[in-house]
């Protein structure tokens, strides 16, 4: 690519509602090839000052054509790290995004794939927790049943995770998690997590740090919501 193309920068709106970047065009193209950026991922073009789905951007058209099965110039597909999982899918999970291919390959040995049908309850409130789940595809809802009424606490999308606290305290699940649509999950059992710590601490450490960063962001967001609710309550007195 010429120098002018490399100077063009972009920002990426990820599934966790965090904007990443700016990144240059070669980096963005590499993320498309790694499947970290999909056709429906929103990308902000700094030079055009607008958001667009990556799949319709003229700068990326040739890259998407090359990675499509049978597309012109398509390279041989790399072997998946986990059977049945598309190459690059693991990188769409934020807490795994900074791992190298070698690290992901080793980390994958400690995970199991679960294909979940729509309406299936993945975890049930009150059951003992013994595993964490990463969402590769699909959508799930976290709910609590109060009487016979369902209260949805949050909707989880591809790239997010749940059940992480159970890796540490094995306590009861605090809510149900139900699949809104057919979903693909990666399961990390407490047993495999302990094995990861013992056999590959160099992988466990960045994984734990990434979980802590996400949990910290959630706590800060909850604190902001609580503060806003208090301010609204005081203003209406």
What tens digit of pLDDT does each residue of 177-194 get?
A: 999 999 999 999 999 999
pLDDT beneath 50, residues of the chain: 1-6, 70-77
Query: Distance between CA atoms of 237 and 235, rounded to whole angstroms?
Result: 6
ω into 22 cis (within 30 of 0): yes
Domains of the chain and any CATH numbers: 3-67 (3.30.1490.40), 89-230 (2.60.120.10)
What tens digit of pLDDT does each residue of 71-101 get?
A: 444 444 455 556 566 656 777 788 887 787 7
Alpha helices in 36-176, H assignment, sequence order:
61-67, 101-107, 166-169
Predicted pLDDT at 19: 63
Closest C-alpha among 30, 165, 196, 50 to residue 101: 30
Please give the model's pTM, rounded to 2 decimal places. 0.63
Query: Distance between CA atoms of 134 and 164, rounded to whole angstroms?
Result: 9
Closest C-alpha among 33, 86, 93, 36 to residue 60: 33
CB neighbours of residue 154 within 10 Å:
13
> Hey, which bits of the chain come out as E strands?
9-13, 19-24, 42-45, 50-53, 112-116, 121-123, 131-137, 139-146, 149-157, 161-162, 176-179, 183-189
């Amino acid at each position: 690519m010429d120098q002018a193309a490399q100077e063009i920068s972009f920002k990426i709106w990820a599934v966790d509602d965090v904007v990443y970047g700016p990144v240059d065009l070669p980096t963005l193209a590499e993320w498309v090839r790694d499947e970290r950026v999909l056709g429906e991922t929103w990308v902000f073009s700094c030079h055009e000052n607008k958001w667009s789905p990556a799949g319709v951007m003229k700068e990326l058209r040739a890259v998407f054509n090359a990675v499509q099965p049978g597309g012109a110039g398509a390279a041989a597909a790399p072997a998946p790290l986990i059977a049945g999982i598309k190459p690059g899918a693991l990188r769409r999970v934020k807490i795994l995004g900074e791992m190298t291919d070698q690290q992901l390959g080793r980390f994958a040995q400690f995970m199991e794939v679960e294909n979940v049908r729509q309406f299936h309850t993945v975890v049930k409130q009150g059951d003992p927790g013994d595993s964490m789940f990463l969402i590769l595809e699909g959508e799930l809802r976290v709910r609590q049943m109060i009487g016979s009424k369902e209260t949805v606490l949050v909707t989880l999308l591809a790239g997010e995770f749940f059940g992480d606290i159970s890796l540490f305290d094995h306590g009861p699940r605090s809510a149900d998690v139900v699949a809104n649509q057919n979903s693909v999950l990666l399961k990390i059992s407490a047993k495999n997590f302990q094995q990861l710590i013992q056999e590959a601490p160099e992988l466990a450490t960045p994984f734990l740090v990434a979980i802590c960063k996400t949990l910290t962001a959630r706590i800060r967001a909850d604190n902001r919501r609580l503060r806003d609710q208090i301010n609204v309550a005081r203003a209406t007195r």
